[in-house]
Amino acid sequence: MKEITGGHNKKHGGAPPPCAACKLLRRRCAKDCVFAPYFPADEPHKFASVHKVFGASNVNKMLQDLAEDQRGDAVSSMVYEANARVRDPVYGCVGAISSLKQQIDLLHTQLALAQAEVVQMRMMMHQYSNNSFTITTSPDNNYNNSNDSPSSSRHTHSHNSRMSIFSMEDTFWSS
Ligand SMILES: [Zn+2]
């Protein structure tokens, strides 16, 4: 602030230039002007839209009611709200909020559908591996004709079917 004032001193012969607010309101910019830190002379559009929507005296009052470390954020949000109101006189920033809310709802729906699809695919995968288990342990299988005892044969097959689930999951997740 002091730097800006110093930089402009040459042009204005020692008097600091008025801030964007005081320039628009055609008044003298006092040393302790509440607008000056937030509405610099090189950004006149910021105060113009805020003044149009809220009115200079209301902005002044709102800033006076706040602690100094909160005023910067308050000005940013007021400028955002004012610009939104100028763009959309009916809904203002509520238009932006409701459009974002709709996007969130849509994305939640898409996420739920995708999650349901994953569950369905996992169930299909397990069903497939269970079916291959049934086939390999069927009485027609070659293994049953061998001399292995039924218990050891069953153990081998259950191990194989578990292996096939892992290999299928690998294929599924890497694709
Ligand atoms: Zn001023």
Whole-number Å distance, alpha carbon 19 to ligand 1 midpoint, is 4
Q: Establish if 96 belongs to a structural domain.
A: no
Whole-number Å distance, alpha carbon 11 to ligand 1 midpoint, is 18
Whole-number Å distance, alpha carbon 5 to ligand 1 midpoint, is 12
Domain of residue 73: give its range.
Answer: 2-87
Whether the Cβ atoms of residue 155 and residue 112 lie closer than 8 Å to each other: no
How many domains would you assign to the chain?
Answer: 2
Residue 74 is predicted with a pLDDT of 98
Whole-number Å distance, alpha carbon 93 to ligand 1 midpoint, is 27
Q: For residue 27, is pLDDT > 70?
A: yes
Whether the Cβ atoms of residue 74 and residue 62 lie closer than 8 Å to each other: yes
| Segment 42-88, tens digit of pLDDT | 999 999 999 999 999 999 999 999 999 999 999 999 999 999 999 99
Smallest Cα–Cα separation from 44: which of 65, 23, 64, 30?
Answer: 23
Q: Establish if 60 belongs to a structural domain.
A: yes
Enumerate long-range contacts of 91-97, CB under 8 Å, 24 or more apart: none
Whole-number Å distance, alpha carbon 29 to ligand 1 midpoint, is 4
Q: What is the arithmetic mean of pLDDT over 167-175?
A: 44
Tell me which residues have their CB within 5 A of the ion that is ligand 1: 19, 22, 29, 33, 35-36
CA distance 61 to 20: 17
What percent of the chain is predicted at pLDDT more than 70?
67
Whole-number Å distance, alpha carbon 46 to ligand 1 midpoint, is 13
Whole-number Å distance, alpha carbon 87 to ligand 1 midpoint, is 26
Co-location of 118 and 74 in the same domain = no
Collapsing DSSP to helix, strand or coil, 16 comes out as coil
Q: Establish if 11 belongs to a structural domain.
A: yes
129 pLDDT band, cuts 50/70/90, is: confident
Whole-number Å distance, alpha carbon 22 to ligand 1 midpoint, is 4
Q: What is the pTM of this model?
A: 0.58
Q: Which of 25, 52, 87 is the last residue of a domain?
A: 87
Q: Establish if 142 belongs to a structural domain.
A: yes
